[in-house]
């Protein structure tokens, strides 16, 4: 069954935004993984603004269902002197499999800078009729850099799975006294090495998600 949305608890301050282009209104800062069915910016669905990111195999697009990973990621750094940090995102998950019997395949994962899985944030197989917001505490990752990685896996069984992502945010709070100025995040530098097909999904299979 479709899980009941749970209201996300905001962090206790307005926070400094550490992520670039979280609403996907430009083509900056995000990297799509190489795949036969790559992710894409789309105006078909959006929580706000003019577009979101679509991952996976959308019904009616004329592309046969086949085994594929469809992903997008961005590198972020949590300053060491932050007091708290939080990831928030809006999602609209979809699947043609009404009973969801398969391995969870709508994923939110943290990857190390060399693209090794650090933590599985969400690993579900869900069908939603409306946008829902989710949030997770990243405070224990202060002083570290990692990728926020969204992935939709299709297993080629003929039942398509997809996900829309929008309004992604990573905010950090700082001590109120002598709070440092956070240097703006930039998207400059070489394009990271693409993540190998299957590298994340294989690692995440062992994660048990409650019904």
- pLDDT, one tens digit per residue, over 145-198 is 999 999 998 876 777 889 999 999 999 999 875 444 555 444 443 333 333 333
- pLDDT, one tens digit per residue, over 115-140 is 999 999 999 888 888 999 999 999 99
What is the number of alpha carbons within 13 Å of residue 120 lying toward its C-beta? 18
> What Rg do the C-alpha atoms of the chain give, in angstroms?
17
State if pTM tops 0.85: no
CA nearest to 20, candidates 70, 73, 98, 90: 73
Q: What is the pLDDT of residue 62?
A: 73
> What is d(CA 63, CA 156) in angstroms, rounded to the nearest whole number?
12
């Amino acid at each position: 069954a479709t899980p009941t949305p749970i209201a996300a608890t905001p962090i206790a301050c307005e926070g400094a935004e550490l992520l670039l282009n979280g609403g996907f209104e430009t083509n900056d800062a995000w990297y799509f993984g190489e795949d036969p069915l790559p992710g894409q910016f789309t105006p078909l669905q959006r929580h706000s603004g003019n577009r979101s990111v679509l991952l996976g195999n959308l019904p009616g697009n004329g592309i046969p269902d086949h085994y594929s990973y469809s992903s997008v990621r961005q590198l972020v750094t949590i300053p060491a002197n932050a007091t708290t940090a939080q990831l928030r995102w809006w999602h609209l998950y979809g699947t043609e499999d009404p009973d969801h019997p398969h391995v969870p395949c709508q994923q939110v994962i943290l990857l190390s800078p060399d693209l090794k899985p650090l933590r599985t944030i969400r690993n579900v197989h869900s069908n939603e009729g409306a946008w829902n917001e989710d949030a997770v505490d990243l405070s224990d990752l202060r002083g570290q850099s990692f990728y926020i990685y969204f992935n939709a896996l299709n297993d080629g069984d003929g039942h398509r799975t997809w996900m829309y992502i929008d309004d992604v945010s990573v905010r950090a709070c700082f001590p109120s006294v002598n709070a440092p100025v956070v240097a703006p995040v930039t998207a400059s530098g070489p394009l990271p090495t693409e993540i190998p097909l299957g590298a994340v999904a294989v690692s995440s299979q062992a994660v048990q998600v409650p019904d």
